[in-house]
Chains A and B, each alone.
Chain A
């Protein structure tokens, strides 16, 4: 195979020659090009945030390509908490995320057990009904909910408490909107637990609910974790209700959305702090993605391909 012509040709034509003989090589090359392209496009915006955050604010201008920081000012990452109570906003988002996740996991466990393990009339239509909730745009719910939470509606002759500017005004809609996905994930997992284990638990002395929480749920730990991670990320990332159901004060449970927006609104020139705040805000979810990427992948695909 090796001939002397190899030494005479340039490297490019050599590569072309060999790739005609061996198309695998071309695919390999295409694959590397595509991989590098995707890595660049997904990661570059994060790099841009870093560039802005590290550049002192008065030096932010005239970036070339590729942009590099004009100076080095890590102090922005401290200032970001001093200018507004950014840590409070992040903390609020965490609390909202954890509480919503807990509510969703308990309720979705009950529903997941029902849909995964029981047979009863009306099962399929009910499942569709619950699924339908996730199809509707939040805008279709928001007007009555806003009026309800601001105390403008009476239900059955009772004036419900004013929930606007409290965590409940967000936790309730979050729970309802993110519940369907968890129900589908959990019903798949719970449905796979052998009947014998549930029977054994009941014979040994649990009730049906006891068997669910002592045997079925612990055995479905990966599924529960998947549903939990997805719910938490969804809440942390949510914009619509987070934006509308509070007036944006950190001490009134306004979440991350308002923390970021307050830099855009009140301090419209502090670009380095906007970038620094964004980096701080991304870090928690970035860590979750690195740690729990398998769960995220399996949960998203299972939830979407379930129908």
Chain B
């Protein structure tokens, strides 16, 4: 019964969404307050309906109601509760439900927190959100309905893909979607502003918190996904330049650029057209990512052909929204005024440089991802564009950007002094140089370039702290005064420093593991030992055991500290009985920031086993760095001046701004 109600509320949500897509915008055109105001009620209502519908599906999963086809295909009665819940979105239909639920959530948030938005802007924003919602709800109802019943009812489900039976599935997709879909808000703001034909600094002030919020979630989502892949896939890679990864990385790159350009627009009224374009592009890339993943064109052209309905429908949504918004942009771009003037060397200039690099990087990833598809479609030739290509193009692009990062916050708005900034960074440069020399002398086994990479990371980390040090006035001011000043700094300044510091940490982790990783592939009989990076590992033997819905065969490996057993690692292989599908579970021991990573290979009859052992120096910094980025973003978002629903600038100040323009 609850399933039918869930189905019903889904369709009700669709109907209400159609109202939301039409009435408020009509109201904005006709200047009718009541019509515009409807959006403030319809969007929370749509969200509640979607929430109910989603909860109904989740209930079917939790209660293992195999009369629902979707549950039967993707769940099992013996699965632990947490995987039953997360299994709700561990499949195509369910993940689309999560997608629209979050889309509805963001629209409702704008309706609730956007009280001080100009009525026409709010109506247009929610109307545009309504279009997106309607498009995806139609997609679900007509091609991906999760509420289809089965008769007769099967006794047992077909189980969730074992690789997805992990806490990662509970965290990663919701975070990623909050990020992906969060950019629909900035997109809606951009399109609404284009419809209105009016964009000012206040617009950027409303948009920036949303862009930041989406960025925080997307950063967290990608990072969690990376760690999940690292420990679950069992060969210790953390980023593969896989097309699906690229699909989430492109909106992140564009979204990071948007974050920085919106800053220029808010503070200096410049880069208006560019910021609007970026807002459209970022969500377009989110849509493109959805299309690439959902249609299956990436896996194989044949998958696309086997289910053309879904793929074609998403392609249609893609063309409609991207094409439509670009057409609108082209039509209205002439009416937008360009704003504040600035010298090339200035805070604005630095942020423009950031945008130049990040957009080029986005385009590079985009071209690299789509090139094989397009080339094959045109010429029939199959080529591969893999990790080596992306490493060769992406890394050189990032190096100048990373070098520039510490300069940005030290340059003044409008006209900066690069020499003064360089002088202020003199100490940072000294520290960096020292670290590079130490790395060169003491870390002789790595590649020659590695100390340079370490230096770059140090430059980023210490350079991002330079602004804090300067603003505190420390050694000139007394320690006490410096602390007081630091406490008084705007949270956005702290947020920037923390996030940039985190970027440095991530770079350090990447350099560490890339340059100094070691590997030992070996066969061990019980009692035999293997060495890696100064650690001795002893194979004790194999054990078999049963999990709730799998059988496991694990190797017991002692990590030795001299003759003492410091720790026991148990890499294993599992067979998930329902699908008769084997998986491999790596065992990981974290030592400071580095990790010992052991994966189990083939096990012979005599009890000897193939083991692949890695020493991954500093690898955890990759994710610790992204935690800093997320925290920096969140702290910045908590700044009073940036808080969601920041007050309108006073009419007087707005007038003053108009007069000076």
Say whether A and B bind each other. no
Interface residues of B (CB under 8 A from A): none
